[in-house]
A and B are shown apart, each in its own frame.
Chain A
Amino acid sequence: MPQHKEKGEVAIPLMQGIEALLFVADVPLSVEEMATLWERAYGTRPSSEEVKAAIEALNRVYEETGRVFRIQRWGGGYRLATVAPVSPLLQHYKQPEAKLSQTLLETLAIIAYRQPITKPEIDHIRGVNSDYALRRLQELELITVTGRSDTVGRPLLYGTTQRFLEYFGLNSLNDLPELPELKQLLENPEIRQEHLRLLYSFEPENQESTA
């Protein structure tokens, strides 16, 4: 906007602007959002290529100068985060987010790979009523109602959210780990035994964060 310039505001380097925004933001910011904010402040709109180039340049600088920051791409946006090697130190300052229970993880996995999906379909796969899990996952904003099925009774359809992507460090649903094929799981008897053992023991190391 021109009046900003009349007030004498001088554009800073785009790189600095992006860095400042990502430093302050507490959610991932999309390229469009950053471009719009820049335009409001300085009257010109950087192209998405310019924004992306600035992000890449920042990450290069962080890496080359040995800084602990990296700009991550999560849920379609960008977010400034620290690198993994400093996490043992940070854990003592700030507890990491709590883990999801097995029930919630399983329900969430079914929704993530099968979305949009109805509650009766989820219940059938799990063999249990999923009311509680669905309610809890909605409270956590990891899933949302995405519509209604055309089948009898028009049940609600559930899908995952942007928050889901960010929570799992994924940029888009294409980044989901591959859904294992049955053959893969069970053809090899050794894998099968190992697999079943892993599935049904609560690994003690998982308790570390809660202990």
Chain B
Amino acid sequence: MYRVRLPVFEGPLDLLLYFIRRDELDIYDIPVARIADEFLAYVRLMEELDLDGVGDFLYLAAVLLHIKAQMLLPRPPAETAEEAPAEDPRQELVARLLNYLRYKEAAGRLDACAEARRRLYTRGAAAGAGNEEAIAAPPPLAPVSMLELLGALRKVLERRVHPPDHTVRREIYSVEAQMRYVQTQLQQQKRRSFAALVAGQSRGFVIATFLAVLELARQGQVWLHLQESGDDFLVELTEALSVEETYAAA
């Protein structure tokens, strides 16, 4: 089975922060019950995609469910005045999120330093062509975040009205075959929406095609552009490579 490895994949804390940003939630008052359900929906989708690193997400999903359960339990009234008020079960998670944010911000500041440094050219190997490979980051997945793509995939899967299958037939789609499918489609039209690429197809087809698109993006063959609504994204061929050339290079 072809596995898609995504080293630039964002982690479970990023997914939580993504919800917080998207819904403009107060980080100190996260509606855990609601968030936990949506978090789990993402995790299930990731499991289905067989993405690396789902384990880290499962751990945080368990933490969220635990908090949700604690918050649903009625709190025993404080019996004595000295008894400390019950701790908010979300406290530890919020502290972790905030701490993580600090380092994300610090990473941004460091990046600004590197940006300024990159404008100052030096002689020799350290800035030369010979070293470019050494310092090169893995190619960016796309100018959109992985979490946003997963969100769009969910929407595309939800939108598909699929008649119930009465005949049980195993559908087998390989990522390689779907990569060729996407390339062929893009040869005809340089820019296609993901929903259009998988219109009317089965869930297995949609998921294999999604993985194929990710792999093509990772290889730098396509660009992905999220649509403003977040319901779909565009797949665009980066350069006019023929299918044969691509496979010769791979």
Q: Which residues of A contact B (CB under 8 A)?
A: 23-27, 70, 72, 74, 79-84, 86-87, 90, 94-106, 108-110, 112-113, 124-129, 132, 136, 139-140, 166-170, 176-182, 185-186, 192-193, 195-202, 204, 207, 210
Contact = CB atoms under 8 A, between A and B. Distances in A.
Nearest to B138: A101
A204 B104 CA distance: 18
A129 B53 contact: yes
Interface residues of B, number: 62
Given A84-B120, A180-B105, A186 B98 contact: yes
Contacts, number: 192
B145 interface: yes
7 contacts: A26-B128, A83-B120, A99-B114, A100-B137, A106-B103, A185-B105, A197-B21
Interface string B115-128: 01111111111111
A106 B135 contact: no
A84 B126 contact: no
Contact of B11 (A126, A198, A207): A126
Given A26-B123, A109-B103, A103 B7 contact: yes
Interface of B: 7-14, 17-18, 20-21, 24, 27, 53, 55-56, 60, 96, 98-114, 116-129, 131-132, 134-140, 143-145
Contact of B123 (A80, A84, A127, A182): A80
Given A109-B103, A127-B13, A95 B129 contact: yes
Contacts of B56: 127-129
A126 B13 contact: yes
A179 B106 contact: yes
A82 B113 contact: no
Closest 5 pairs between A and B when the two form their complex, measured CB to CB = A26-B124, A169-B117, A128-B11, A177-B109, A87-B119
Contacts of A182: 98-99, 101-102
A56 B27 CA distance: 50
B150 to A, nearest CB: 14
B117 A167 contact: yes
Contacts of B135: 97-98, 100, 140, 167
